[in-house]
Chain A
Amino acid sequence: MALGNVFDIAGSGMSAQSVRLNTTASNLANAQTASSSVDQVYRARHPVFQAIYNKEIDLDASRINSDSEAGVRVMGIVESDAPLERRYEPNHPESDEEGYVFYPNVNVVEEMTDMISASRSFQVNVEVMNAAKQMVQRVLSLGQ
């Protein structure tokens, strides 16, 4: 039933956006986490989304199959390659021999816009689900 699919699709959108919101929260929380070595320092993480197709054959299908539309999922979470920030802080307990510490490559402004985008997309999915709920409720009252 197509209207039942809407709930799955909107639900997958909501969970994908909440993963995105989660990584944003993690990035913002760790924005000031300094470390003494390049390998250990926190790097900004971002999820990569992918459309779900239940059957691989349907990838290029131009016809609706009852279950070819299945929403979105998080394919993976990638760490940012942006350059790290090296600061001279000799009093920092984590500083190396030369007195430098490494700060994460988290861009706070970028994270804030990402957060707004994620929460707006989440809202859209909630609205879609609400509209689908109303449609199903109406169908249930057919003939009354």
Chain B
Amino acid sequence: MAISFNNALGIHEDALRFRGQRSAVLANNLANVDTPNYKARDIDFKTALASKLNSSSQSLKLATTSHAHNNATGLLEDGGADLFYRNPEQPSIDGNTVEEHIEHAQFMENSLAFQASFTFLNSKFRGLLTAIKGQ
């Protein structure tokens, strides 16, 4: 049985990349907490996951002419998942929709999820290492 890194790592690699990108979006919201007319944005994990699942089943893929080629599919393939604007609970008078407590909570949740994905990915690597060593 051949060991395939693609199959072994599963979705965790993409999830980690998604968490990294989302942290940049949330950091941008927090940096613009006092910017007039700034609209808070976010990426939805569910739609990103759905687009990943769709793309892996039917959408365009790179031609693989050798078994050594990797399939270049990713959770955030060709540059992006959809960003959406957040609906503020308490809109402020200067048109800014960033709510600091919500953004802060989301950022912390995101970095915890990042750690979780990382732990999964790390354990996958450990498993591969054990398989390679055969001990």
Q: Mark A30-70, 1 if CB is under 8 A from B, else 0.
A: 00000000000000000011110000000000111110011
Q: Mark B94-126, 1 if CB is under 8 A from A, else 0.
A: 000000100010011001001100100110011
Which B residues are closer than 8 A to A by beta carbons?
16-17, 19-21, 23-28, 30-36, 38, 43, 76, 79-84, 100, 104, 107-108, 111, 114-115, 118, 121-122, 125-126, 129
In the complex, the answer to whether B38 meets A132 with C-beta atoms within 8 Å is no
* Residues from chain B with Cβ under 8 Å of A66 in the complex: 79
The A-B contact count (CB < 8 A) is: 115
**Nearest opposing residue in chain B for A62, CB measure:** B83
Which A residues are closer than 8 A to B by beta carbons?
1-3, 5-6, 9-10, 12-13, 16-17, 20, 48-51, 62-66, 69-72, 117, 121, 124-125, 127-128, 131-132, 134-135, 138-139, 142-143
User: Which residue among B27, B38, B79 has the maximum number of chain A CB atoms within 10 Å of its CB?
Assistant: B27
State the majority secondary structure of interface residues on A: helix
Show 6 A/B contacts (Cβ-Cβ < 8 Å), sorted by A.
A9-B31, A13-B30, A63-B81, A66-B79, A131-B111, A139-B118
